[in-house]
Amino acid sequence: MSKQPESLSIDLLPYLSEGFCNRCKELLETRLQNLNLNNHGKLDVDLASNKSEDFCSTGSLSCWPHEKIYASPSSGTSSRNPVGGRVSTESTVNNDFSKLFVNGSNESVATDDRNLGLSDEQKRMSQVGRKKDFVCKERIDGKEVNVLKGLELHTRVFNDEEQKKIVEYVFSLQRMGQSGKLSDRTYSEPNKWMRGKGRITIQFGCCYNYVMDKSGNPPGILRDEEVDPIPSLLKSMIKRLVKWHILPSTCIPNSCIVNIYDEGDCIPPHIDHHDFLRPFCTVSFLTESNILFGSNLKIVAPGEFDGSASIPLPVGSVLVLKGNGADVAKHCVPAVLGKRISITFRKMDDSKLPFRFLPDPELQGIQPLSSSPLVNKSPIQQVPNLQNSHHQNRQSNNASEVFGETDFPPLGASINKPRSKKT
């Protein structure tokens, strides 16, 4: 006996709704139920009950359909990434992004969450993936030490629409720097004279000296130099990091550095200067890249390093560094395989503040949101011991090699393909 049209429509629901978020699935199911065949075999769709609803925009996290092509403002070339779109003016980006933070994202929330009396922001916070049990043991001074102790990885912190706004804004800052609209020490775009050299840096809050300069200033914060203050959009990011229990309210960042990588750019092995307090964090955009850790990282070739542990950094994720992960293990980013942006937020030691530094009232007294029953409910798989794994610039590592695939759902960017070895 053949199925009735309504039953057949419902049977097709799993296929028609593949990749949809829960809200979209529910809306599609309702529409299928309202779908009838009249006596002439023509479709008669009654959408009257759904006029006030619509599907998620294609910029939402759950329904992201395809990668887009994003044009870099400096090179004019395009690179594949999950947050493509037209570059807006600085004021437009700031206003649009502020609305996202104030009103919440258009990202749907599971039906089970709707009747728990949670705010939209608490619901978003409850969807963050959190991993705090990284393990990689090395023998240091005769003792086995977990050099990754203190590291935390938080995923789904910024959804696709928010990532797009952030990336657009960073590229607008790059254009401002290139046209001389940022202070000299804020924007730096060195000449690319070899592979692994020349990433663009934009510093806010303080001027940091990576190596001893021509004037004899040692590495660290240059207290007599000024840079531009932290822009509003980046302050909104800081507020979220504190409110969503990613950074403590006792260590609210008052400085940040934006890194813009082209293919082949890297960050060599280092430990962040103690002019900055712990914890600090870095947020990743455009391309998933690996970060290497180890007490004895080795430089194999320009942009290529060998270390004990390799951790993939999904786009939109936040890596928090403290404890051994910040002070015992060095870290580095091997030569990236595509355009990448990272934003590192740090709090300066009060005794190292620039002489003319003034605290920002917007960054004072930020408090975390109250926890809900949903936060940290999802099980987290134990990280395998990474001791002696010797990841030599292995950008192709799949996230499942370090932690379970279900712990951190994909955020829109595909894992980098392995680089072919030169013979």
Q: Tens digits of per-residue pLDDT, 80-92?
A: 333 333 333 344 3
Q: Is the pLDDT of residue 8 over 60?
A: no
Whether 385 maps to a domain, the answer reads no
Cα diameter, the chain: 89
Q: What does the pLDDT average to over 203-213?
A: 86
Pairing mode, if any, of strands 200-204 and 340-346? unpaired
The per-residue b/e assignment along 318-338, b for 16 or more CB within 10 angstroms, e otherwise, is bbbbbbbbbebbbbbbbbbbb
In whole angstroms, what is the distance from residue 90 CA to residue 78 CA?
21
Whether 285 maps to a domain, the answer reads yes
Whether 340 maps to a domain, the answer reads yes
Look at the pTM and tell me if it is higher than 0.75: no
Whether 356 maps to a domain, the answer reads yes
In whole angstroms, what is the distance from residue 171 CA to residue 72 CA?
7
Asked if residues 134 and 151 have their Cβ atoms less than 8 Å apart, the reply is: yes
Tell me which residue range forms the domain holding 213: 129-363
Whether 398 maps to a domain, the answer reads no
Length of the chain: 423
Whether 231 maps to a domain, the answer reads yes
Q: Which tokens in the block code for residue 103? A: 């009103």
Integer angstrom CA distances of residue 319 from 23, 277, 281, 344: 30, 15, 5, 9
The per-residue pLDDT for 156 is 96
Whether 382 maps to a domain, the answer reads no
Q: What is the CATH number of the domain that holds 202?
A: 2.60.120.590
Q: What does the pLDDT average to over 34-42?
A: 46
Question: What is the pLDDT confidence band of residue 416, given thresholds at 50, 70 and 90?
Answer: very low
Q: Which tokens in the block code for residue 293? A: 């850790």
User: Which range, of 62-76, 233-247, 263-277, averages the lowest pLDDT?
Assistant: 62-76
In whole angstroms, what is the distance from residue 371 CA to residue 382 CA?
24
3-state secondary structure of 328: coil
Instruction: Tell me the sheet residues that pair with 284.
Output: 342
Whether 324 maps to a domain, the answer reads yes
In whole angstroms, what is the distance from residue 227 CA to residue 187 CA?
9
Total domains in the chain come to: 1
